[in-house]
Amino acid sequence: EIVLTQSPATLSLSPGETATLSCRASQSVGIFLAWYQQKPGRAPRLLIYDASKRATGIPARFSGSGSGTDFTLTISSLEPEDFAVYYCQQRSNWPPVTFGGGTKVEIK
Amino acid sequence: QVQLVESGGGVVQPGTSLRLSCAASGFTLSNYGIHWVRQAPGKGLEWVSVISYSGINEFYTDSVKGRFTISRDNSRNMVYLQMNSLTVEDTATYYCAKDLQQLVPRPTLLLDHWGQGTLVTVSS
């Protein structure tokens, strides 16, 4: 099973700042890495897939990069609605599909 | 618009069974794989199972294999998760979610629409 480790666990930032979230895989997942956003009491939302492709309707301030074992989600100029928990997910070697433990982006 | 609505959650005792339902609307269910993902209270996401659009292929995470069964009734626009021999570790909100692409033999494993979840609590 591929383990995804996200860092940091919590990121405290102000609106307008840039968030940089990391996801590291225990073995290579190629580019088969996705990112989801989850707000309290809500279902997750697909943001990025195949490391860098934005899902339908996702604003351009969300961008993804990386390949192999190291991936980054960047949120440029944080909007108030961006404060949430972000999960990475791999689909390279399954079952099982695995998720990272999440990074909470909170308002500083 | 795409809508997924889960139901069937509740409080049950260890060792018992429960069947969750996922009602789909706003898209052609029979063209898409459907997943179940769970989230224990205050914890992260855990993928549970997926059924292909045809219903021929099913996959499970190891911790539920042999206890949970995913199925679908495309004529009723429903997907189910039969959960047997429940343990306290199964306590979670269970989400059903739609796979991104239609009519693919193997699901893409990208979940582009999710329901709001149904809470299952296993407690004595």
Q: What is the pLDDT of residue B106?
A: 87
Cis peptide bond prior to A95, omega within 30° of 0 = yes
Kindly give the confidence (pLDDT) of every residue in chain A, 108 residues in length, as a single tens digit, with 9 standing for 90 and above: 999 999 999 999 999 999 999 999 999 999 999 999 999 999 999 999 999 999 999 999 999 999 999 999 999 999 999 999 999 999 998 999 999 999 999 999
What amino acid is encoded at A94 in this protein?
W
Q: What is the pLDDT of residue B104?
A: 86
Pick the residue from chain B with its C-alpha nearest to A3. B46
* Both structure tokens of B13: 């005792």
Pick the residue from chain B with its C-alpha nearest to A90. B109
* Both structure tokens of B105: 């033999």
Q: Phi and psi at residue B29, in whole multiples of 5°? A: -55, -40
Q: What is the pLDDT of residue B67?
A: 98
Please check whether residue B34 touches A, CB under 8 A.
no
Question: Can you give the C-alpha Rg of chain B in angstroms?
Answer: 14
B 77-106 → A contacts, CB under 8 A? 95, 97, 100
Could you give the 3-state DSSP secondary structure of residue B75? helix
CB A87 within 8 A of CB A98: no
- Residue from B36, B45, B59, B65 to probe the interface with A (highest A Cβ count within 10 Å): B45
Q: What is the pLDDT of residue B105?
A: 82
* Both structure tokens of B26: 């706003």
Q: What is the pLDDT of residue A64?
A: 98
Chain A: closest CA distance from residue B93 (Å)? 10
CB contact under 8 A, A49 and B117: no
| pLDDT < 50 positions in chain B | none
Q: Phi and psi at residue B17, in whole multiples of 5°? A: -120, 160
Chain B: closest CA distance from residue A35 (Å)? 10
* Both structure tokens of B121: 């609590």
- Residue from A23, A85, A97 to probe the interface with B (highest B Cβ count within 10 Å): A97
Q: What is the pLDDT of residue B61?
A: 96
Please check whether residue B109 touches A, CB under 8 A.
yes
Pick the residue from chain A with its C-alpha nearest to B109. A91
